[in-house]
Structure 1
Amino acid sequence: MRKVHPEFAYQSRELAGQIDGILGDPPDHKNYKLMLNALVSEYAGGGGIEDVNMMSFALVDVIRFDNPKAMLDEAQDYEDGDPARVFALASCPDGEAAKMYAAIEENFPEIGRQAVITAFLHKHPRLWDEDDVSLDQLAEGDDGDDEHDDEGGVTDDFAQMFDQEGEH
């Protein structure tokens, strides 16, 4: 299992929540398909919202990943990366989906790179893991031995900075 950038892990979880929210309970596949078709059409026309989750939602059901290992490598860095390389690692079938994929690459290369990787991580959750940044994990190994003044007080110089009655 590979670790991915925390922001990609977050975006993948957000995408899952967005999909669940649009599907609803009980799942309304007709509504889901209408929303998906509207997004694909808008992005294929060169427009669309500049948002990682919206783009990854438009891509997630139509994209095919040709090199999962290389895509995982690309998921290590959220901000920097080569959009052309990421777009070359995946493809969409002919038709409206292919037009959308080309338009996203042309019009939104950086956000599109993030959306492609997010869609990949959503579709392949067993290939990756995220760093645990919980407070418990961050405190692991901390013996609480930070250096502090034994008396717990502050120095005279520090206290005088806030002394309203003292000399300025």
Structure 2
Amino acid sequence: MSRVHPEFAYQSRELGGQIEGILGDPPDRKNYQNMIQALVSEYASGAGIEDLNMMAFALVDHIEFHDRQTILEEAGDFEDGDAARVFAAASCSSEAEKMYAALEENYPDLGRQAIITAFLHKHPRLWSEDDVSLDQLAEGDDGDDGDDDDDAVSDDFAQMFDQEGEQ
């Protein structure tokens, strides 16, 4: 199981919430499809909102992953990475192919993040995130880290300021 950057884990959860929100309760597949089609069309034209989750949302139903290992390796670093490598590890077919090419040309870094986010959303069992909660960080911490006695002063130090001792 690969560890992913906490921001990718967060974005993957956000994408899941966004999908559920668009589908609604009860699920309205027509509304969902209309939303995806509108996003695909916008990004394919070279325009569209510069938003990671919107891009991932547009990709999630159309993208196919050919090199999972590469995507997982790239998921370890949110800010820096090889966009060309990520784009080469996946593809879109039919109507979304033009969108995929436009994302690579117009938004390579954001597109890289969106591809990884879509992958993590679709494959939650392949990754885990570091637990950085306060409970986890405090695990094994006994409190005071040592026997530092702030009140203890060595005799040498005390005599440095003892003017009577110099006479």
TM-score, shorter chain, exceeding 0.5:
yes
Runs of 4+ in 1 over 4 A off after TM superposition: 147-151
Unaligned runs of at least 5 residues, structure 1: 152-168
What is the match of residue 76 of structure 1?
A: 76
Q: Does 1:23 align with 2:53?
A: no
In 2: Cα distance, 1:146 partner to 1:39 partner = 54
After TM superposition, give the deviation of residue 34 of structure 1 in Å.
0.3
Q: 2:140 & 2:55 partners in 1: Cα distance?
A: 40
C-alpha distance after superposition, 1:120-151 (max 9, x if no partner): 00000010011111110010121101467657
Q: Secondary structure at the match of 2:77?
A: coil
Match of 1:157 in 2: none
User: Which residue is 1:118 aligned to?
Assistant: 117
Residue 101 of structure 1 corresponds to: 100
Instruction: Give me the whole-angstrom Cα distance separating, in 1, the residues matched to 2:33 and 2:134.
Output: 40
TM-score (norm 1): 0.86
Question: 1:9 is paired with a residue of what secondary structure?
Answer: helix
Alpha-carbon separation, structure 1, partners of 2:130 and 2:25: 31
User: Is the CA contact 2:5–2:77 (under 8 Å) kept in the aligned structure 1?
Assistant: yes
Q: TM-score, normalised by structure 2?
A: 0.87
Q: Does 1:55 align with 2:23?
A: no
Cα deviations by residue, 1:21-71 (Å, 9 ceiling, x for unpaired) = 000000000000000000000000000011110000000000000011111
Measure, in 2, the Cα distance between the counterparts of 1:149 and 1:101.
63
1:158 is aligned to none
Residue in 2 that maps onto 1:130: 129
Q: Please, what is the CA RMSD of the aligned residues?
A: 1.2
Q: Secondary structure at the match of 1:47?
A: coil
Q: CA-to-partner distance for each residue in 1:90-146, whole Å, 9 max, x for gaps?
A: 00003x200000000100001000000000000000100111111100101211014
Which one-letter code corresponds to 1:103 in the other structure? A
SS of 2:3's partner is strand
- The one-letter code matched in structure 2 to 1:54 is M
Q: Is the 8 A contact 2:70 2:85 kept in 1?
A: no
1:67 pairs with 2:67: yes
* 1:141-160 alignment, distance < 5 Å: 141-146=140-145, 150=150
Aligned AA for 1:142?
Answer: D
Aligned length: 150
SS of residue matched to 1:129: strand
Unaligned runs of 5+ in 2: 152-167
